[in-house]
Each structure stands twice: as structure tokens, then as C-alpha cells.
Structure 1
Amino acid sequence: MSYSKAIDLLRLADFAAARHRGVTLQEIEDEFQVARRTAQRMTNALEQAFPIAVEILIDPDRTKRWTLRESPLARLKMHGDEELEALDYSIERLSENGDLRQRNALAALRDRLMAALPTREARRLEADAEWMLEAYGVAARPGPSTQISKEISETISDAIRGPYLLHFSYKGTVRLVEPYGVLLGARRYLVAKSPGEQTMKHFRLDLIDSAEVIDEFFDRDPNFDLNDHAAHAFGSFQSADEYGPVLWRFTPDAAQRAAEWHFHPAQQAELQEDGSLDVRFAASGWLEMAWHLYQWGDSVEVLHPPQLAKLVKGFQRGDFNALP
């Protein structure tokens, strides 16, 4: 948008807000000395720029009037819960990555936008955004990830936001589930359960086809916490058979670097007398652990579980010239 058009858009916002009954296309034509088509483009731009504030009134003779609720201009910048979700999600990711300068700048912007909203609207948006952040609140590990179609991703998000029942095809089988969240990682998993059942199941997003939101609410289990559920896995894959205590020992040369890593939300790290570092936690997902441990070469030893130690045996190279 050019500078002059931006100025006209702001003038139109003031013009519409100043008139109790709003402005018509004819009044816009007269005020800005433009043709009908240009006036229509201006009202379209007004609706796109300020979707929360713009109201369209229709007279008995079917004449449309555009008006803006009385509000400071800064209040018109928040475009609903999806933008707040994106801000909160980005702030969370920057915090996890340790980029505090960018995180603090984005958090300050979020606070200013929320402060400009009416209290009731701000509370509603924050409640919705907090729930969606929780639903996608599991930290993704760096690295490649599978490609998920935009349509599937948006459909799942809509169902979680409802919360609505979700219908889809999975490996050739039709499923109807209550969606609770998404686990992020190299592969992404939908966490859901079948109606009437208690056990949570995982579905790989890249294997979901023909997803459809069913216009039927379900009652979420108030005791379910996605972060607690996710902590049962090292990455995004869970297995009840594999779940249990894990103990890794990093060599003295790798101890300092390993201490900088956050391998698991409930990990415990203990420096040994010889300078090595023990890292303990409880989780499942031996294969994902093995994939990660390969990067450390022979700088790490698996002390427990024996099944994981067997899985990495013979793959602990000593010729890597750098640590993760």
C-alpha cells in the first residue's frame, strides 16, 4: 500500500468513527472525490485493516453504512485470537531458544496490543490463546520435520479450538476422535481419544487424510495436561512398554556442552568427581533417543536402559570434530 493510500485509509477510519450512523459509499465518494469503484475498494481495505472494529449497518432502503466502534487507533490493530495465538507461540519459542532480546521485544508488542483492547475482549482472546498455546505447547526439537498439508493442519486446529469432534481417514481406517493437542517434533502427532474411551492415542499428522471438523462439541477431561502427557516421551513418540528411567553419562570433555542442553523437562543433571556428567529422566522413545545420541559420538554412554544401550552400541563414532 502506498503512503497516500495509507493516509486515505486512516482518514476514512476517522471519518467512519466520527459519524454515529457511519458513512455510505456516496459520502465516501463526496468526501474523497473518488469514483464508486474506488470507494468500494476503500471500504474493503477498511474491513481488512480493522476487522474487529468495523461494523456494517444496512438502512431500510438497503444502503450500507460503515462505522467503527469508538476506540483509540491502537485498539484497532489486534485482528482476533489467531494473531494473539501466533504472538504467544512465537514468544514461547524464542524463550526456549534463548533469544531473549527478540522475545522481550515481541512480548512488549503483545502487551501494548492487549492493553489497548477492551478488558472483556482481552480476557476472551487471552483465554482462547492460552488454550491453543497449551494444545501446541510441546517444544519442538531442532532439525527436519515431515511436511503437513495446510488444510489438514488448519482443520485440526479448528477442531482443537472448538473443541469439536474430528473425523478423518488414517492408514485406510475411518476415525472419529476427540482431539486434545499436537506433539511437535521430527514427526507431529495428534493426541486424541475415541468418544467414550479413556486411553489417549497418537496419530501421525502426515498420515491423516480427509480431515473434517464435526459440528459437535465434546467435554474435555479437565484433569488432562498435554505437557505432563508429552513428558512421557523423549521426542514425540510414546510407548508404554518403553517408558522408564533413563541414565546417560557424558565424558568430561563433553560435560560442559551437555550441561547446556535441556534433554527433558524433568531431567536431573549431576556432575561427577571425574568431571563427567550424569543426566537422568524418565521417558519412552528409544529410537528417537538413539537418533539424538548419535550426534554425540563416543562422548556419551548409555547406562540405562539396557535396550537403549544395545541400540546405540557400535554407532558411537569417535571421529566427530564438534559436539552438538
Structure 2
Amino acid sequence: MRYGKTEALLQLALELSASHGGLSLNDIETMFDVGRRTAQRMRDAIARVFPQLEEVPQPDRTKRWRLPTKALGRVSEFHIDDIMALEIAADILDRDNRPDAAISVRRVEAKARASLRPDDARKMEPDLEALMQAEGVAMRPGPRYKVNPQLVEDLRHAILACREVRVRYRRRYETIERNRTVHPYGILYGQRHYLLAFVPEENEVRNYSFPNIIGIEETGNSFVRDPSFSLAEYAARSFGVYQQEPFNVVWRFSPDAAADARDFLFHPSQTMENQPDGGLIILFQAGGLLEMAWHLYQWGDAVEVLEPEELRVIHERSKVSWPARP
């Protein structure tokens, strides 16, 4: 028996209950990767099983629906898979140098455990312990700079309140301390975490690496965030973190490496072209030449750079024949 459709409907019921503003048909399409007719059938199925489904009035006349929380009864209770997922998520956040977020996730996990009925908790404990011993998070090499939780908290407050801050920092290979008054826009997490901030003096958004920030203080002034700035779009301009004007990128993977490359998301804008010999061409637009070179080194002679020329020259000098691929 196939349970996929039933699980999808149960998940939709949970999402409808969790969304105070309700879900539209477009939301259902996106959430479950289905077409309009399927989204309508899913909504209608929920309405048949849960007559409490209600339409949420909207000023733009878009139809949205939600379920009262009590309508789900015990369906909305936590399962062992939910607890385990929170455990793994916290471990991954610890590994990726996000101790602040790991603490928050473990707090949610504690609340989830506390919400369980005593009998359910006792039954779950042995299985949960066995799963925790059987699953782990792989170590990821990379910088493990100590993150100051107070810095993260202060930056979040300034970002949410649109408060101007004075940043004391030193550049990576310098000992001189500098001061810069900036408008904090967001935080970009990666191997190194970065503050993204608009610098009025330079009239542009700049990155400030967390390990190089000595301290921050609010100036007492507010700022108006540029409504056109999108953190997601800003990050997508680059292959990694380093910002430069996007350029055309074309890589050709050998037939032997094509299957592996097809499983990779190199960039959100990428497209793929299958080649007659079984090879694969990846195309996208982004900046970050140096980080591309670092990544391509792992692929060695399994990839050929067709564009840009500068990256092709760098890769040709460092091309290695590896016994395995990323």
C-alpha cells in the first residue's frame, strides 16, 4: 500500500493549522510541488475530513484557508522522528559553528519532549536512544572560529530595530583596528559568518567577517533599510561569499563524473545540458572566482572550465587526477 498521498494530506493539515494567516492554493502548489488541480483536490480532501476548515478573509481577495489548532487533536503531537530531527539539526548547527541557533533548537526539542504524555515519552526513550547511537553528523573541515553569542544577539537587535551601529574591526591580515558606522542589513552564515551592512560613506553593502569584528555599539540613530535589498539575491550574486560582478560560468564534466555532478547544486541559477558523449555542461552566472577555483580543485581533471578564461587558466595549473570525487 502506498502512503505518500495520505502523508501529504496529513502534512497539509498540519501546515494549515500552523499558518495563522492561512494557505492559498499557490502556497499548496509550492509546498508540495503539485499543479493547481492537485492543490484543489488536496484542499477539498482536507475540507471533507476536517469540516472545521475555514476561509481567512484577505484585503486583496486572495482565498486562503486554515484549520483551528484543536481540529487536529493528537495528530499534531510530536513523533519520535520529529525529536530525532531536532537532535540532528542541533548537531549540524554545532558543527557549522552556529552555537546560538543550536541552543534555540535544543530548547525547542526540550519543549517537544515536555509536551509528550508520560506514557508516550517512556515508550519513545529506548528507540530514541538507539537512533541517536546509530546516526551521526559527519565532520566538515573548515575554520571553527569562536562565535560570541552576545555579538549575534546585539546584531539581531540592531537589524530588527533598524539601529545604526559602530563596528570595531580589523582586517584579516592586519593588526590595525578600524571603526566604521554602518546600517546592519543581515547575517550571512557559512564557513565564516559575515555581517552584511550598508556603509553610508561608501554607498554600498559590505561584508564584515565575524572573527574580525572586535565589538559593536549602537550610535542611537535609526536608519531606513533600502526596500530593494534582498539578502537572498545578494548572496546569489556570488559562488560563495566574496562579492564581485557576476560573470558567465560554463563547466564541462566528463562522462565518468556527469552522474555525480548532476546531483550537485552549484548555484541556484544553474542550468544543465547533457552531452552526446555522456558528459554534462553546467551553466550559471555568479561572481566569486577564487572560491570557484577552490571548489573545482576537488574535481580535478573530471571537469573542464569553458568560461571564464581566467578561471580556466587557474584550474589548468592545479588540475589533479583524483581517485575519487566530491
- The TM-score normalised by the length of structure 2 is 0.53
Paired position in structure 2 for 1:144: 142
Paired position in structure 2 for 1:16: none
State how far apart, in whole Å, the 1-side matches of 2:262 and 2:193 are: 27
The reply to whether residue 224 of structure 1 matches residue 202 of structure 2 is no
One-letter amino acid of the structure 2 residue matched with residue 306 of structure 1: E
Identity of aligned residues (%): 38
Paired position in structure 2 for 1:317: 320
State how far apart, in whole Å, the 2-side matches of 1:193 and 1:165 are: 10
One-letter amino acid of the structure 2 residue matched with residue 302 of structure 1: V
Give the alignment's Cα RMSD to 1 decimal.
2.9
Alpha carbons 1:146, 1:206 under 8 Å: kept? no
Paired position in structure 2 for 1:158: 157
Cα deviation, 1:163-193, whole Å, max 9, x if unaligned, reads 2112111221111100111222222222111
State how far apart, in whole Å, the 1-side matches of 2:263 and 2:218 are: 42
State how far apart, in whole Å, the 1-side matches of 2:308 and 2:278 are: 22
The reply to whether residue 206 of structure 1 matches residue 211 of structure 2 is yes
One-letter amino acid of the structure 2 residue matched with residue 175 of structure 1: R
Alpha carbons 1:188, 1:236 under 8 Å: kept? no
Distance 1:286-1:197 versus aligned 2 partners, 3 A rule: closer
Of 184, 208, 227, 1:179 maps to 184
Secondary structure of residue in 2 paired with 1:258: helix
Greater mean deviation of Cα atoms: 195-204 or 179-188:
195-204
Secondary structure of residue in 1 paired with 2:323: coil
Of 294, 308, 314, 1:291 maps to 294
Cα deviation, 1:121-152, whole Å, max 9, x if unaligned, reads xxxxxxxxxxxxxxxxxxxxx65234133332
Distance 1:228-1:206 versus aligned 2 partners, 3 A rule: same
State how far apart, in whole Å, the 2-side matches of 1:197 and 1:162 are: 22
State how far apart, in whole Å, the 2-side matches of 1:175 and 1:196 are: 9
Number of residue pairs the alignment of both structures matches: 192
Distance 1:233-1:316 versus aligned 2 partners, 3 A rule: same
Structure 1: unaligned runs, 5 residues or longer: 1-71, 75-86, 95-105, 114-141
State how far apart, in whole Å, the 2-side matches of 1:146 and 1:313 are: 31
One-letter amino acid of the structure 2 residue matched with residue 161 of structure 1: L
Secondary structure of residue in 1 paired with 2:318: coil
State how far apart, in whole Å, the 1-side matches of 2:143 and 2:222 are: 31
Paired position in structure 2 for 1:308: 311
Cα deviation, 1:212-245, whole Å, max 9, x if unaligned, reads 23443321111111111111100111123xx311
Paired position in structure 2 for 1:84: none
Instruction: Please give the residue correspondences for 1:262-277 in structure 2 after superposition, counting only pairs within 5 Å.
Output: 262-277=265-280
One-letter amino acid of the structure 2 residue matched with residue 152 of structure 1: L
State how far apart, in whole Å, the 1-side matches of 2:191 and 2:208 are: 14
One-letter amino acid of the structure 1 residue matched with residue 216 of structure 2: A
Q: Using the TM superposition, give the Cα deviation of residue 246 of structure 1 relative to its aligned residue in structure 2, in angstroms.
A: 0.6
Larger Rg: 1
Secondary structure of residue in 2 paired with 1:314: helix
Secondary structure of residue in 2 paired with 1:200: strand
Distance 1:146-1:238 versus aligned 2 partners, 3 A rule: farther
Alpha carbons 1:145, 1:185 under 8 Å: kept? no
State how far apart, in whole Å, the 2-side matches of 1:182 and 1:143 are: 22
Secondary structure of residue in 1 paired with 2:154: helix
One-letter amino acid of the structure 2 residue matched with residue 279 of structure 1: I
Distance 1:187-1:224 versus aligned 2 partners, 3 A rule: same
Secondary structure of residue in 1 paired with 2:204: coil
Alpha carbons 1:146, 1:188 under 8 Å: kept? no
Cα deviation, 1:192-225, whole Å, max 9, x if unaligned, reads 1124764111112211112223443321111111
Instruction: Please give the residue correspondences for 1:48-59 in structure 2 after superposition, counting only pairs within 5 Å.
Output: none
Instruction: Please give the residue correspondences for 1:1-40 in structure 2 after superposition, counting only pairs within 5 Å.
Output: none
Cα deviation, 1:33-55, whole Å, max 9, x if unaligned, reads xxxxxxxxxxxxxxxxxxxxxxx
State how far apart, in whole Å, the 1-side matches of 2:254 and 2:165 are: 48
Structure 2: unaligned runs, 5 residues or longer: 1-69, 74-85, 94-104, 113-139, 171-176
Cα deviation, 1:257-300, whole Å, max 9, x if unaligned, reads 10100011111111111111111111111111111111111101
State how far apart, in whole Å, the 2-side matches of 1:189 and 1:230 are: 11
State how far apart, in whole Å, the 2-side matches of 1:300 and 1:169 are: 42
Distance 1:169-1:196 versus aligned 2 partners, 3 A rule: closer
